[in-house]
Structure 1
Amino acid sequence: MTGAVIELDPADWARFQRVLDGLVNASPRDLLEQLAGGVESQTRERIADTKQAPDGTPWPAWSPAYRTSRHSGQSLLQGEGDLLDSITGQVRGETAEVGSNLVYAATQQFGDKARGIRARPYLGLSRDNIDALEALTEHWAEGVLQ
């Protein structure tokens, strides 16, 4: 057969085994905490700056009647800053979670047709968010392997 021969030196195998052991024995908690922190930051940026859903769709503007009740300095999903301040990331077991404990947070995310409140999704991941989290994960793995 025509082909290439690959010969693995026992010293190389031992080094490779140490690398694998490092990954297998690494605690995922640190990675999960970093991911939760990353998504928390991304969500806060969405509320404070970009004012758009994770898919890039701009949030609907306030209704004319509601606009009259707002004062300068207030913007979509950021009246007194309570929603922004409530965004937290946490690790539970093998899961990273990001969200808000405010009662009205779900209303903002999903809307409420009965009350005329349009959805302004702030939770979720954009393609850029996913790319950033993948880079964070790669950086974590590189640190474990060193």
Structure 2
Amino acid sequence: MDDCRDLFARLRAHTDDLRPVLNAIGNELTESARSRIADEKKSPEGEDWAELDPDYAARKRQYSSGGILEYTGNLLNSMTYNVSATDVRVGSNEVYANRHQQTRPYLGVSEDDANAINQFIRDALGE
């Protein structure tokens, strides 16, 4: 992450228009979060999520074929990002999203995400 911070500081000195890079970063992090929910079932650090409680899993199967964090698909489908002049925010507007983030983290910057972010910034710097 230090590389990201150093590169981003250089980018800020290079341009006043950070939005193209912030949009690329937002898209990357949103797609990564969606992938963690839909496929990986791991935190950004690569740690497996806790399994569902067996009783809850049995009840859930009666109403949904979705996996962990996929009961209705609303969390997955609500993942989005917002860009301002200086930052990007990734997340969901579902009221329960924060509760799930605490027990089964899906938001964050993985090593692959950090590498992609570094490349976005290098591309913007013309490197």
Shorter chain as denominator, the TM-score bin is 0.7 to 0.9
Structure 1 regions of 5+ residues with no counterpart? 1-22, 111-118
**Residue number in structure 2 paired with 1:8:** none
Q: Deviations over 1:44-84 (max 9, x none)?
A: 11111110011111000100110111226310111111000
Work out whether 1:46 is the aligned partner of 2:36: yes
Q: Secondary structure at the match of 2:109?
A: coil
The letter for the 1-side match of 2:47 is: T
**Residue number in structure 2 paired with 1:20:** none
**Residue number in structure 2 paired with 1:63:** 53
Structure 2 regions of 5+ residues with no counterpart? 1-12
Alpha-carbon deviation of 1:29? 1.1
- Rg larger in structure: 1
CA distance in 2, matches of 1:69, 1:79: 11
Change beyond 3 A, Cα 1:77–1:41: same
Q: 1:90 aligns with which of 82, 86, 90?
A: 82
**Residue number in structure 1 paired with 2:21:** 31
Assess if the C-alpha contact under 8 Å between 2:43 and 2:104 holds in 1.
yes
**Residue number in structure 2 paired with 1:131:** 115
Change beyond 3 A, Cα 1:60–1:141: same
Assess if the C-alpha contact under 8 Å between 2:18 and 2:85 holds in 1.
no
The letter for the 2-side match of 1:129 is: D
Q: 2:100 aligns with which of 108, 113, 119?
A: 108
The letter for the 1-side match of 2:91 is: G
Alpha-carbon deviation of 1:136? 2.0
The letter for the 2-side match of 1:94 is: T
**Residue number in structure 1 paired with 2:3:** none
Alpha-carbon deviation of 1:90? 1.0
CA RMSD of aligned residues (A): 1.7
CA distance in 1, matches of 2:60, 2:106: 20
Paired residues, number = 113
Change beyond 3 A, Cα 1:92–1:128: same
% identical aligned pairs: 33
